[in-house]
Amino acid sequence: MTDKPNPLVIENIEKSFQTGFLNLKKVKAVKGISLTIKRGEIFGLLGPNGAGKTTTLKMVTGLIFPDKGKISIFGKSSSKATARSEVGFLPENPWFYDYLTAREFLSMAGGIFSIPSDTVKKRSEELLEKLGIAHAADIPMRKYSKGMLQRAGLAQALINNPELIILDEPLSGLDPIGRRELREIILDLRKEGKTVVFSSHILADVEDICDSVAIIAKGKLRETGKLSELLLKGQSYFEIFATGVHNTISELCKSVDETVVVEKTISGTRIQVSTSEISNNILKKLVMENIEIKKFDSHKKSLEDLFMESSSNKSDEEK
């Protein structure tokens, strides 16, 4: 298991588009993004509108080609069609053929993967049922609501029982119930050992269910890592307020860690520590020495702070 290649490795990809009159203007949509997505995780690609999420996912799924950089899916270059045989993709706001039914579309999707037709039939039934569109399986998809299209889109993305599932803004356009159902489905996929990558511009979607996240803004990767680590990384410092002989406290603290900041204040002593490990040790010592702790605070940046900070970070945008 462990020596199998990662589901998705993105190395320093860049992409610009020609726009405007006579295609003279160049828009850099993605400016060197690298990501590694590990087996079995739910990976959230978070970023405001226009950040470059869709552009990135389109490069991954072979719809557009990177100007620079490399993408490999289970070790195969994304430029090869076969790299996508274990991939399921739900595009942003999927749109289907007007006169085809969901069942027909699923059978075509299965055919493209060269899956035997009875397997496709069986799997279609399961998916239509699971995604709650079985009742509409035989009506033309032009009559579907946005939520139903999203569900049909997910069904076609799962028809090949993919190992890697890529969803572009899967929660948008769904009502609260639909959102909760979709979250359940994503969590179920992880239970089955699948890898899920999904993009969103809404923080809460990502915070709830992701193991790892990447925050991108203006075509650049701002933060990436395990959600828990990112949250920890955001904790700028811990504060301990204690009362007692200042010098004793100070010595005690310095014996734990040299870098601890100890200040005398009107009401006692303020201790500032950078990691939870050091603060724990100090707290233990203080308790052992019967020094009264008046207050303990962790000043922690939420993912939201991180997200807002990253996406409004203008300093390194135009250069």
Ligand X SMILES: Nc1ncnc2c1ncn2[C@@H]1O[C@H](COP(=O)(O)OP(=O)(O)O)[C@@H](O)[C@H]1O
* From candidates 9, 10, 56, 96, binder to another protein by CB under 8 A: 96
Distance, in Å, from the CA atom of 113 to the CA atom of 294, rounded to the nearest integer, reads 65
Strands 220-226 and 195-200, sheet pairing: unpaired
Task: In whole angstroms, give the CA distance from residue 277 to residue 62.
Answer: 45
- Binding partner of residue 27 among another protein, Mg ion, ligand X, none, CB under 5 to 8 Å per kind? ligand X
Answer yes or no whether residue 315 interacts with another protein by CB under 8 A.
no
Which residues from 54-73 bind another protein, rule CB under 8 A? Answer: 58, 61-65
Can residue 84 be called a binding residue for another protein (CB under 8 A)? yes
Q: Which residue has the tokens 């509108």?
A: 49
Q: Residue 284, interface with another protein (CB under 8 A)?
A: no
Q: What is the DSSP annotation of 76-127?
A: EETTSGGGGGGEEEE-SS----TT-BHHHHHHHHHHHTT--HHHHHHHHHHH
Residue 104 C-beta-side C-alpha neighbours within 13 Å:
10
Q: CA geometry: angle at 214 spanning 213 and 216, to 5°?
A: 145
Of the pair 105, 144, the CB lying nearest another protein is at 105
Say which residue the tokens 């969803």 belong to.
167
Does 54 contact Mg ion by CB under 5 A? yes
The item of Mg ion, ligand X, another protein, none sharing an interface with residue 96, based on CB under 5 to 8 Å by kind, is: another protein
* Contact with ligand X (CB under 6 A) among 53, 103, 179, 222: 53
Handedness of CA 272, 276, 280, 282 (dihedral sign): negative
Contact between 49 and another protein by CB under 8 A: the answer reads no
Secondary structure (3-state) at 149: helix
User: Please, which residue, 121 or 146, has the CB nearer to ligand X?
Assistant: 146
Q: How far apart are CA 67 and CA 17, in angstroms?
A: 10
112 binds, among ligand X, Mg ion, another protein, none (CB under 5 to 8 A by kind): another protein
Phi, psi torsion values for 67, nearest 5 degrees: -70, -35
Of the listed pieces 42-50, 203-211, 233-241, 296-304, which binds ligand X according to CB under 6 A? 42-50
Nearer to another protein, 117 or 267 (CB): 117
For residue 8, the minimal CB distance to Mg ion (Å) is 18
The full DSSP string for 47-58 is --TTSSHHHHHH
Q: Write the binding mask 75 to 94 for Mg ion: x where contact by CB under 5 A, - elsewhere.
A: -----------------x--
The span from the CA of 225 to the CA of 35, in Å, is 9
Q: Least CB distance from residue 224 to ligand X, whole Å?
A: 15
**Is residue 95 at the binding interface for another protein, with CB under 8 A as the rule?**
yes
Q: Site residues (CB under 8 A) for another protein?
A: 17, 58, 61-65, 81-85, 87, 89, 91, 93-100, 104-105, 107-114, 140, 153, 156, 160
Binding site for ligand X (CB under 6 A): 17, 19, 27, 29, 47, 49-55
